[in-house]
Homo-oligomer: A and B are copies of this chain.
Amino acid sequence: MAEQGLLIVISGPSGAGKGTICSRMMESEPELRYSISATTRPPRKGEVDGENYFFLEREEFVSMRETGGFLEWAEVYGNFYGTPRKNVELMLNQGYDIILEIDIQGALQIKEKFPEGVFIFIEPPSLKELETRITKRGTDSKDVIARRMQEASKELKYVTEYDYVVVNDCLEVAVTRVKSIIVAEKCRPQRKRLTLTNEVMGK
């Protein structure tokens, strides 16, 4: 039987580059699985159920939530979003590592329910650089940018709740660091099947 996979939680303020790092990881590590969220929002054109999202009816979502079916959930603009626990646990038990990109509130919820996850905070190199990145996206108004910056300032305080902090200054370096963290975490005695130690202890 394979060793249990790792749940790798990639989190951090909006604009820190979580998404880009996750995409790069998925590209270079074919064994890695991406956690698929559930949502009550209707599918957009081209979106496939069980691939982009698990699309649920509101009642289904609520009932799953009440029975502890989510590692985390949130309501955004009237729609529910959540990480289904069962699917994650199934893949981990099969030995797959799962990467999960999520905001800080979500990560802290997961940490409470699944502390054996590997919690990585992606940090922008500076507040100035963060503002540049958010502005460059060109999707947000000045007001929204100001609010995102204020949000980020608050969120940076949560870095100490995480197992690791990776500064996303150079993308290649950041991705290499995330990969090293995964290699290192797989060497933790509490995660490994200690065959040899069990042998000498007659287990």
B160 and A199 form a contact (CB under 8 A): no
- The reply to whether the CB of A79 lies closer than 8 angstroms to some CB of chain B is no
Contact partner, A157, options B162, B187, B200, Cβ 8 Å: B200
Q: How distant is the Cα of A1 from the Cα of B116 in the complex, in angstroms?
A: 34
B189 and A164 form a contact (CB under 8 A): yes
- One complex includes copies of this chain to the number of 2
Nearest residue, chain B, Cβ from A150: B200
Contact partner, A156, options B159, B180, B185, B200, Cβ 8 Å: B200
- The reply to whether the CB of A72 lies closer than 8 angstroms to some CB of chain B is no
| Chain A interface, number of residues (Cβ within 8 angstroms) | 36
- The reply to whether the CB of A141 lies closer than 8 angstroms to some CB of chain B is no
Q: How distant is the Cα of A201 from the Cα of B159 in the complex, in angstroms?
A: 12
If the complex has contacts A180-B183, A183-B177, are A153 and B200 also in contact, measured as CB distance less than 8 A? yes
- The reply to whether the CB of A188 lies closer than 8 angstroms to some CB of chain B is yes
Residue from A154, A176, A180 with most neighbouring chain B CB atoms (10 Å): A180
Proximity bits, A44-57, B CB within 8 Å = 1, else 0: 00000000000000
